[in-house]
Structure 1
Amino acid sequence: MARKKEFDEDAVLHKAMLLFWEQGYEKTSMQELVSHMGIHKGSMYDTFGDKHSLYVKSLKRYSEMLEQSVKRGMADTRSAKEAIRLLFEMAIQQQEEFPGGCFVVNTAVELANYDSETRDWVHLKWASTEQLIRDLIVEGQQSGEFSKTLNAEGLSYCFINALIGLRVMVKTISDREKLRQIIEMNMSVLE
């Protein structure tokens, strides 16, 4: 007969996510995970699988949190331009709240060269954000906010590149005015 879990699976996964986010995959040992999560090693394996599986689940949990945050923020925007700016501003805000940087970007930098599962997942997340940006540009063109001569697809590539770059820069640059100037320069392309 299977034993009843004596822990909140979501809360424990959140703890693992925070540890992986702070330290990365390679620097996080199984012992640190078990200790940080507050569960037995056997319970961890039974519930989440091996370290890699737990990492992927943590990454997905982070992504869900980020997507919810974006949706909440987008609900308050009044224009396509404001929504695009929000994506950039959130990169700075997230760093102020969670100094570990973007967990997706951290994963790309740490694991993409040798872990095809996480590389493919990161590409999927970036493609999703790129599509969101493209849709916002088209929406702005249809509403008359942006020129119809703008290349929505090309700009979405440019903006996802700028957004990823900004997410890397916020980890090392404390000059928020410089970061905001970077946002302004990117946004000026839409005028």
Structure 2
Amino acid sequence: MKGGHFLPAKKTFDDDQVIEQIMHLFWQQGYYHTSMDEIVATSGVKKQSLYNALGDKHTLYLKALQRYHQQALTACAQETQRLEQAGEPALTILGHLFSWGLTSTDHPAGDLMANAVAEFGTTDPDVQHATTWFYDDYLTLIAAAILKGQANQQITNHQSSMTLAQSLLEARIGLQTRLRQGSLQDVDQRQQVWLDFLKA
């Protein structure tokens, strides 16, 4: 007690670490198949402490989507920059952007945002905003790489960079969905088909 008032209990967990754990849980199981009890067990934080510090299940999901957005786009942008600085051709960079994360064994299959779209569609404005924002940013990365490739005549000019980027992103989302469904897909083969299509 201090001045006649109880001091709030000191928080014993790290918000970022907890959101990271919860993000992977949602990624593995989806929103509707994840219970609050599972979130509590995964995070190791008491339910009331979670509510007080980070919010309810829906709020936690939105925070998980936000964290995924930041991590994924940062990783993609850094790798794109590294490839550009190494003098790699535009097709190599686009191959990276098309298949990034799809064959990794470090996280669940597919992409958390694609899973969110599949689960919610347009029924939840907050989730829709999060997924739209993410894919707009991803689209910008792809379109920029295509535009540079068109400028040095490595990429076809038959369509605008944005039109080509939208087609590539839609193909990636479709492939992610198939992977999430457990369908065995040859990611390298799909990637090569698109790179052949984009080649000048």
Matches within 5 A, 1:79-98: 79-94=89-104, 96-98=105-107
Code of the aligned partner of 1:20: F
Distance of 1:72 and 1:174 partners within structure 2 = 29
Structure 1: distance between partners of 2:195 and 2:25 = 34
1:116 alignment partner AA: P
What per-residue deviation string (whole Å, max 9, x for no partner) do you get for residues 150-178 of structure 1? 42121111111111112122332335xx3
2:64 to 58, 65, 71: 58
More deviation, 146-155/160-169: 146-155
Deviation (angstroms), 1:108:
0.6
1:140 aligns to 2:146 (yes or no)? no
Q: List alignment gaps of at least 5 residues for structure 1.
A: none
Q: SS at the partner of 2:103? A: helix
CA contact (8 A) 1:91 1:170 kept: no
Report the counterpart of residue 195 of structure 2 in structure 1: 187
User: Of Structure 1 and Structure 2, which has the larger fraction of its residues in helix?
Assistant: 1
Secondary structure of the structure 1 residue equivalent to 2:123: coil
Within 5 A, what are the aligned runs for 1:10-159?
A: 10-77=16-83, 78-94=88-104, 96-159=105-168
Aligned structure 1 segments of 4 or more residues deviating by more than 6 angstroms:
none
Give the distance between the partners of 1:68 and 1:131, measured in 2 at CA.
13
Unaligned runs of 5+ in 2: 1-6
Query: Are residues 140 and 106 of structure 1, via their aligned partners in 2, closer, same or farther at CA, if it must alter by over 3 Å?
Result: same
Q: Deviations over 1:25-75 (max 9, x none)?
A: 111111111121111111101111111001100111112221222123213
The answer to whether the 8 A contact 2:98-2:168 is kept is no
Alignment RMSD (CA, Å): 1.7
Q: What is the alpha-carbon distance in structure 2 between the residues aligned to residue 54 and residue 133 of structure 1?
A: 29
Instruction: Write the distance in 2 (CA, Å) between the matches of 1:154 and 1:101.
Output: 24
Equivalent pairs counted in the alignment come to: 188
- Counterparts of 2:108 and 2:18, CA distance in 1: 21
In 2, the alpha carbon distance for the partners of 1:89 and 1:55 equals 25
Identity %: 28
Which residue of 1 is the match for residue 170 of structure 2? 161
AA in 2 matched with 1:7: F
Tell me, yes or no, if structure 1 residue 4 matches structure 2 residue 10.
yes
State the alpha-carbon separation in 1 of the partners of residues 157 and 122 from structure 2.
Answer: 38
